[in-house]
């Protein structure tokens, strides 16, 4: 069914799509946002681990909508739900933990800083930090970010502090500060996309402990579902259509984007024409949509003249360790262990960029400290283990009792994930999802410098945990990746032969097609990418509004 044309059709409503919708709506343009998933309301967000974490409330079931995954092109694919973020209005920002860091100036010139790293496909950004800085300010203000930008060696240039004061912190934060000071490092507050007080008609945080993996029933979390989408709808120019799965972006005889074909909740196919098409489905899914949008003009996929759509996929390098404190045994000498406040909000960025390669790498990342997630089923499954390592009966009961009497402090690594030619997204025509579409096939091969870096950062984090004198210190891993933090599959740049998008995230070969999720990123940074995606989307929206008002 063909529909009336609009000014802009946006596919996706998360950190990339929502800022575009808001700014275009404010400018008076008619916008349709297509969202594959539901438009949840606050009353839909309940503290049910089975619903949220073990069903398809956020993520699709892998037998309905698999991703294919393999570690190396010489390995077979397996079906997975890795690299899905969330299918709902707001995307992954709905169930995020809300760690809102900025990239650093060095992230924009990594190729110049590191040179030609063998096995990596590094590229400088076509913009500099100062080009994005005012839009970081805007994203923090529009979405609502709580924090305190204290001076430290890797603090990015800022024109002002965060719009909201920091959230209340667990007293262990001061203990971490003391240990880090003794090590000569700089423990800094972690900015959060969570409201520390009422803001723009939204309630402040209730400190329920369930941020990550859950939606917020108070709208205190600054997901686009609570912040930007309501503001966009209030313009009267933006329409959000949930349960609409985009299947193809069509082109006209001149090769310009013409419309988005989508399937609604009832299985009916529609075609939404628009003057401008904006794709923002996540780096993996946007690449899939473009690669599946073939035509006589673009036989390899839309905007894929360079062959780079899907290439240079990056995630975030991940490592983790945990420190266990037995409450009953320790609370007399360490009273803070009995405190149940949820937020640690401490980070280390002393190893964000190393002055030389004496440790085998230059670009590092960030350590974020937090209490382990309180999901009881997840914890019990981990404690019980499986196979020959599984425990049962009294041994399992004793471990569970010990767990209930414990506070477990952990850190996570957000490390640089060096782009390389062997990590990419393609589509697999032999495997299709419930919509009949070829699925995204992810091939990953880690650069060896990533693994050196992650191990080094884990070891530094363990020094901090050890300084707190826990009852037990456990290393969880040093070679993982956080696949919901995605980028790189449509990187932007000046040269059409080496990039998919120009500096304004417009496709080199399709002048009315934009991609504004993490796909544009030439580098992953040493922090979660959510805030940077939102800031860049505000920047792109600013340029697009100006261009459209001029009739270009």
pLDDT tops 80 at residue 2:
no
State the Cα–Cα distance between residues 184 and 488, nearest whole angstrom.
35
Q: How do residues 329-344 score in pLDDT, each as one tens digit?
A: 999 999 999 999 999 9
pLDDT tops 80 at residue 23:
yes
Q: 475: closest CA among 538, 412, 381?
A: 412
Average pLDDT over residues 308-327: 98
Average pLDDT over residues 89-106: 98
Residue 388's pLDDT is: 86
State the Cα–Cα distance between residues 374 and 380, nearest whole angstrom.
11
Q: 411: closest CA among 358, 361, 349, 471?
A: 349
Going along the chain from its start, the domains and CATH numbers come out as 6-66+83-549 (3.50.50.60)
* String of DSSP letters for 205-258: P---S--TTS--TTS-B--TTTTHHHHHHHTTSEEEE-S-EEEEEEE-TTS-EE
Q: What is the dihedral of CA 25, 26, 29, 34, to 10 degrees?
A: -10
Average pLDDT over residues 310-331: 97
Q: How far is CA 236 from the centre of its chain?
A: 29
Q: 348: closest CA among 161, 481, 185, 151?
A: 185
State the Cα–Cα distance between residues 2 and 4, nearest whole angstrom.
7
Widest CA span in the chain: 76
pLDDT tops 90 at residue 452:
yes
pLDDT tops 80 at residue 169:
yes
Give, for 8, the enclosing helix (H) or strand (E): strand 6-11
Q: How do residues 268-305 score in pLDDT, each as one tens digit?
A: 999 999 999 999 999 999 999 999 999 999 999 999 99
Residue keyed to tokens 């901090």:
464
Q: How do residues 51-87 score in pLDDT, each as one tens digit?
A: 999 999 999 999 999 999 999 999 999 999 999 999 9
pLDDT tops 80 at residue 141:
yes
Residue 399's pLDDT is: 87
pLDDT tops 80 at residue 552:
no
pLDDT band at 386 (very low <50, low <70, confident <90, very high): confident
Residue 388 or 477, more confident:
477
pLDDT band at 315 (very low <50, low <70, confident <90, very high): very high
Q: Based on the number of CB atoms within 10 Å of its own CB, is 235 exposed (0-12), middle (13-18) or buried (19 or more)? A: middle
Residue 252's pLDDT is: 97
State the Cα–Cα distance between residues 440 and 288, nearest whole angstrom.
6
Average pLDDT over residues 526-531: 98
pLDDT band at 551 (very low <50, low <70, confident <90, very high): confident
Average pLDDT over residues 530-539: 98
* String of DSSP letters for 132-164: HHHHHHHHHHHHT-B------TTPPP-SS--SB
State the Cα–Cα distance between residues 92 and 66, nearest whole angstrom.
17
State the Cα–Cα distance between residues 21 and 8, nearest whole angstrom.
9
Average pLDDT over residues 409-415: 98
State the Cα–Cα distance between residues 180 and 177, nearest whole angstrom.
5
Q: Based on the number of CB atoms within 10 Å of its own CB, is 396 exposed (0-12), middle (13-18) or buried (19 or more)? A: middle
């Amino acid at each position: 069914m063909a529909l009336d044309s609009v000014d802009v059709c946006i596919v996706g409503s998360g950190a990339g799509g929502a800022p575009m919708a808001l700014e275009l709506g404010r400018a008076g343009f008619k916008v349709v946002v297509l969202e594959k998933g539901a438009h949840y309301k606050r009353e839909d967000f309940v503290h049910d681990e089975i619903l949220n974490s073990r069903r398809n409330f956020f993520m699709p079931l892998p037998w309905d909508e698999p991703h294919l995954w393999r570690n190396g092109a010489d390995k077979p694919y397996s079906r997975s739900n890795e690299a899905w973020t969330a299918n709902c209005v707001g995307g992954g920002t709905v169930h995020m933990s809300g760690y809102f860091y900025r990239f650093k100036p060095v992230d924009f010139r990594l190729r110049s800083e590191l040179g030609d790293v063998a096995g990596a496909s590094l590229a400088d950004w076509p913009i500099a930090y100062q080009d994005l800085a005012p839009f970081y300010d805007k994203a923090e203000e529009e979405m609502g970010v709580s924090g305190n930008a204290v001076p430290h060696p890797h603090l990015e240039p800022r024109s002002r502090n965060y719009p909201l004061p920091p959230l209340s912190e667990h007293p262990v934060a001061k203990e971490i500060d003391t240990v880090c000071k003794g090590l000569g490092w700089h423990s800094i507050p972690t900015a959060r996309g969570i409201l520390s007080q009422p803001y723009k008609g939204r309630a402040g945080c209730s400190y329920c402990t369930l941020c990550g993996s859950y939606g917020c029933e108070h709208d205190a979390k600054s997901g686009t579902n609570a912040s930007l989408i309501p503001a966009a709808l209030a313009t009267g120019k933006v329409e959000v259509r949930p349960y609409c799965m985009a299947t193809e972006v069509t082109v006209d005889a001149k090769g310009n984007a013409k419309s988005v074909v989508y399937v609604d909740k009832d299985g009916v196919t529609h075609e939404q024409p628009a003057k401008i098409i904006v794709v923002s489905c996540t780096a993996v899914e946007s690449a899939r949509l473009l690669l599946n949008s073939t035509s006589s003009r673009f036989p390899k996929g839309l905007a894929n003249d360079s062959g780079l759509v899907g290439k240079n996929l990056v995630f975030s390098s991940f490592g983790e360790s945990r420190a266990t404190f037995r409450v009953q045994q320790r609370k007399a000498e360490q009273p803070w262990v009995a405190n149940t406040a949820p937020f640690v909000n401490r980070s280390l960025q002393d190893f964000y960029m190393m002055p030389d390669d004496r440790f085998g790498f230059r670009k590092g990342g960030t350590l974020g400290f937090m209490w382990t997630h309180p999901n009881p089923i997840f914890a019990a499954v981990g404690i019980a283990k499986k196979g020959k390592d599984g425990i049962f009966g009294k041994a399992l009961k004793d471990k569970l009792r010990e767990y209930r009497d414990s506070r477990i402090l952990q850190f996570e690594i957000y490390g640089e994930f060096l782009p390389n030619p062997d990590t990419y997204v393609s589509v697999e025509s032999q495997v299709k999802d419930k919509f009949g579409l070829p699925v995204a096939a992810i091939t990953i091969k880690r650069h060896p410098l990533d693994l050196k870096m992650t191990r080094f950062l884990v070891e530094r984090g363990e020094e901090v945990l050890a300084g707190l004198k826990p009852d037990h210190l456990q290393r969880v891993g040093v070679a993982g990746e956080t696949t919901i933090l995605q980028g790189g599959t449509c990187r932007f740049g000046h040269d059409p032969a080496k990039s998919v998008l120009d500096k304004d995230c417009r496709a080199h070969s399709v002048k009315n097609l934009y991609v504004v999720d993490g796909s544009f990123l030439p580098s992953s940074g040493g922090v979660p990418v959510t805030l940077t995606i939102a800031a860049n989307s505000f920047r792109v929206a600013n340029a697009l509004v100006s261009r459209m008002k001029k009739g270009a």
